[in-house]
Each structure stands twice: as C-alpha cells, then as structure tokens.
Structure 1
C-alpha cells in the first residue's frame, strides 16, 4: 500500500512512485496547502515553465480547510485557459494528438470539488499508461508514516532526489531541460515509453 495526496496532473516524481504501487490510498483528510501540487501543475511552453493553477474558494472553518472540502472557484474559465495552454505548448509534440480526445472531458466537465478533478486526472493518466492501479480513499487522516508514504510529494518544494536522466522536451533547445514537470509533459513527449522512463 502506498499513500499519496491526489494532485492536479501530478509531477513526474509522484508518478515514478505511482507506477511501482499496486495499491494506492489517497489521503483525503489532510489540510489544504497553498502553493502545492494539489491545485497546480507545471508545463513547458515556448516561454519556459508555465504554471496552470485551479482557482479555489478560500472558505476556512476553524482556521483550517481540508483538501477534500476544497471548492473550485468556477467564476474564472480556468478549464478553457488550461486546455488552450496545453494545446499551444504541445500541439507539435509527438503524442498530444493521440491523447487530446481522451483528456478533453476533464476540461469540459463541471467540477465542484478539487478532489474530483484530481481523481479524474489520475484516472486519465492511469488509463493512458495502462497501469490499472487500484486505489481507495482514506476515511481519516493517517498519522503513521509507512515506508510507502509519498504524501510529501504533493508539496512543491519536495521531489525525489534520484530523478532519472533527461528526456527530450518541446523547447529544451531554448530553455534547457526543466525537471519534474507535470506527468503530461512526459506523456506528450514519450507516449508509450513513459513507463520505461519512469
């Protein structure tokens, strides 16, 4: 069993552990942290590293807000913005066209809770990589940390030390290699070879 926090199109470091996990438990009772991968991911565009962030409502009870209760702020057309950004950044990539129709529903469906978007992004990647990973959701906060506790990878400042070699990115001749972007960057560049890289 591996413990993760569901994140938005998770970073490559998180997926390097997901693919080694047969059973995943998603932590649903942690406190929402700003500036984390819970509601953001990074892609590589012609200007370098680009942030895609889901706007959330900041309603806090008792000074804390659970990630599972985090509501999306849908007054801003974030889904249109994110999908257009992906198309602009990756339309010339080797595999974007192959996955475009399958990823589109995530940007068309109306979401209320952040966790629902994150689970859908996980299911999309799980299907795209043919991982068939089983997962469950925690019913209370897990205090004990096991060997397979990867909740820390949801924080932007944390990543695995032993990240693998570089792969070809869309604009690396202009900006150099940018490590630990969203899994989408690797998927659109490597397609079926994504698992081998991970």
Structure 2
C-alpha cells in the first residue's frame, strides 16, 4: 500500500494528479505552515494568446504572522474575481471541452469561500472526479497528527499502516532515507513525466493548471495522464 502527500494547491498542475493516481491514499497537508512567499497554494498558470496566464488568489497575510494553510482567508476586496473569470472565459472560449466545465467555473470563480483551503479542496475534488481518480483523499487535519518534516511523513505512514511513501523527486534532498528505513517505510521518489497534449494559442507550455488539459482534451485527459506514467 502506497501513501503520498501534497499541499492543497490552487487548480493544480498534472503532476499533482499523477502522484495521487499512483497512491492508494493521498493526504492533503492542510494544517502545515502557509509559505510566506509566492506559492502554488494561492496561484497557478493557465494559457491565453499572450502565453502563460497567471492567476493569483489574494489572501490576508499582513500582521497575521505564521498561519496554517487551513487558517488562511481569501481577501474579497476589489473586483479581481470577476476579472479572473472573464480572463478564463476569454482564454478558453474556443477550447473543445470548455463548455463541459463552464458551470463549475462560474460557480467557483465568484469565490463564495472564506478560507483558501476550502476553495482549493472544492477544485481538487472536482478535478479528481473529472479525471476519474479513485484514490482516497484525506485531510491531515482529520488525522490529529502533529509533527513536522520527515517525522510528519513517517507518522502519517504509521497512522495508516502503510509500508511505502511516495515523494516528489525534487524533495529527495530534503528527506532522510535513513529515518524512513529505520521506521520500516520504503521511501519512493516520483518525477512527473513530461505531458504534451493539444493546446490553444501556439507553442506548447507545460505544467499549467490541469484545467488546461481537460478544457482541451476532455475525456482523453485521464488516458494522457496515465499513459505518460507508463512511458
């Protein structure tokens, strides 16, 4: 049995879902510290006629010190939500499968959420369903586990009684194989394979939000994700 973890990214890129697909249990780290700088938890890239289209969800940080991801609140001041929705519609109005997801986009992009994590989880669950990924998704906050670093991942593995932990290869230099071995847990590393698919607006851009994939490829999106894992 394999377990993996990830922060609750905003409209995640394909590698997030590839890792979830390879795991039996996927833990969303909703109670770890929210990064002070730029983060994929509050922004991601889409694509328009100018190239990469960045979208950032403004959140309250000033004067709040260190926050858990689960505590971060969305800033609803200004008209940025309407602008984001208009930008998405403009960018993808000619995408073959955009209309299939328009209702969901129009539901979430007024952002009827107080907490950033609630918005992100709504999107993640929707995308998991669209991609037909059956992996069990559990929030760290539901486990009661309080730890950090390697020990957090080891305690998560012990809590669910699993013997294999799947981590992003880019995290290899931060994790101690010795500690995992000592705990009787096999540490595996995963590098998301290159995923190329038909896109609008010229030259291909990789690692955009997976929305770009499903808007352009529709029902073939899961096949593209999983085929690339087998290569």
TM-score (ref. length: structure 1)? 0.85
More helix per residue: 2
CA distance in 1, matches of 2:140, 2:168: 14
Q: Look up the match of 2:182.
A: none
What is the aligned partner in structure 1 of residue 162 from structure 2? none
CA contact (8 A) 1:27 1:141 kept: no
**Superposition deviation, residue 20 in structure 1:** 2.1
In structure 2, the residue matched to 1:52 is 55
| RMSD of aligned alpha carbons | 2.2
Following the alignment from structure 1 to structure 2, what is the Cα–Cα distance between the partners of residues 141 and 79? 35
Q: How many residues align?
A: 188
Match of 2:200 among 146, 152, 170: 170
Deviates more, 1:136-145 or 1:110-119: 136-145
Instruction: Provide structure 1 residue ranges, at least 5 long, that are not aligned to the other structure.
Output: 154-159
Match of 1:148 in 2: 166
CA deviations over 1:113-167 (Å, ceiling 9, x no partner)? 11000000101101222223321111334533463235979xxxxxx75522421
Residue 50 of structure 1: how far off its partner (Å): 0.9
Q: Using CA pairs under 8 Å that are at least 6 residues apart, name the structure with larger relative contact order, 1 or 2.
A: 1
**SS in structure 2 at match of 1:19:** helix
1:17-166 alignment to 2 at 5 Å?
17-33=19-35, 34-61=37-64, 63-139=65-141, 140-144=146-150, 145=153, 147-150=165-168, 161-166=191-196
State the distance in 1 between where 2:195 and 2:55 align. Answer: 25
Q: Which runs of no fewer than 5 residues in structure 2 stay unpaired?
A: 155-164, 172-189, 226-231
Q: Distance in 1 between matches of 2:167 and 2:195?
A: 24
